[in-house]
Amino acid sequence: MLDFQLDRTEAALEFADEMVRQGVTHARVLGIRPLALSRLGRTSDARTAFGFDTHLHMATLPPPPGWESIEAFNRDLAAELLNHPGIRYERYGVASANTWRIDEPCLGRSRMVPLLQKLLQKEVEAYVARLADDDDPWLNGRKASGFLHHWSVITDGDGFEEWHVHQNGWLSGAYYVDVPDFIVKGDGPGGCVAFGLPEGIVSDDAHRAFGTRLFRPYSGLVMMFPSHAFHRTYAHRGDQRRICLAFDIAPHESYQ
């Protein structure tokens, strides 16, 4: 970031490329490359380094045993999260603004979150098993095993998230527990998640040239993407809450 602020974009890219050559595939390192390439006008290379087009995964989860539908499961899961003793408003040091958060959703008394963990584990393992063995820095950072770290983000009408990456993860994602109908059926960005590059780092022109991919979530959707892919959300301005559970699949050493 200091290199970017001092307009030493080539130095930032050289640093990231050298780290990758040494086998360092931390999300912060991989996240430098699309930023630098975009600032240098190499938009196509920036999109390749971003990895989103080739590595995005979206699916609707099936209900766990004992629930006739994912809608019924989500209702019970939402009730558990909204009554969680760890729920609190705002938290310093995260990208969220004007949001309710649960940093540790799975407590000893939790009934629903462990069931969701099993669903996510199955979906993640199936997705990772399908990944190619291309010579890609992100794919080269894949470990034999990982740690599932998750948290819940609950937004009222004015809640949103700034551009960010998940710096401790390798694969990141979100499961949407409850998305109000006015978001699902809307035509604006409210309540949606966007992938792109922050204009405050790459410039407005580079941000527009790179492009922004907007996705409209719905209850039961799981999204997965490389942890170094910048993304943000938009305030939905409604009178209902949007509930999701975000997660990282991280190397064990990230949380030691």
CATH number for region 52-255: 2.60.120.620
> Do the Cβ atoms of 35 and 174 come closer than 8 Å?
no
Tokens of 227: 């942890």
Taking the C-alpha atoms of residue 221 and residue 211, their distance in angstroms, rounded to an integer, is: 23
Determine how β-strand 213-215 pairs with β-strand 193-195: antiparallel
pTM (2 decimals)? Answer: 0.95
Q: What is the pLDDT of residues 153-176, one digit of tens each?
A: 999 999 999 999 999 999 999 999
The burial of 251, by beta-carbon neighbours within 10 Å (0-12 exposed, 13-18 middle, 19 or more buried), is given as buried
At 133 the pLDDT is 81
Tokens of 89: 């408003």
pLDDT category of residue 254 using cuts at 50, 70 and 90: low
Q: The tokens 């069931």 sit on which residue?
A: 115
86: Cα separation from own chain's centroid: 22
At 90 the pLDDT is 87
Q: What is the pLDDT of residues 1-29, one digit of tens each?
A: 899 999 999 999 999 999 999 999 999 99
Q: Which region among 27-36, 139-148, 172-181, 224-233 has the lowest average model confidence (pLDDT)?
A: 139-148
At 1 the pLDDT is 87
Could you give phi then psi for residue 155, rounded to 5 degrees?
Answer: -120, 135
pLDDT averaged over every residue in the chain: 95
Q: Kindly list the domain boundaries of the chain, sorted by start residue.
A: 2-50, 52-255
Q: What percent of the chain has pLDDT over 70?
A: 98
At 256 the pLDDT is 53
> Do the Cβ atoms of 38 and 206 come closer than 8 Å?
yes
For residue 98, CA distances in Å to 163, 186, 188, 234 come to 15, 21, 20, 11
pLDDT category of residue 94 using cuts at 50, 70 and 90: confident
Q: What is the pLDDT of residues 48-83, one digit of tens each?
A: 999 988 999 999 999 999 999 999 999 999 999 999
> Do the Cβ atoms of 246 and 174 come closer than 8 Å?
yes
Q: State mean pLDDT over 224-238.
A: 98
pLDDT category of residue 103 using cuts at 50, 70 and 90: very high
At 140 the pLDDT is 92
At 75 the pLDDT is 98
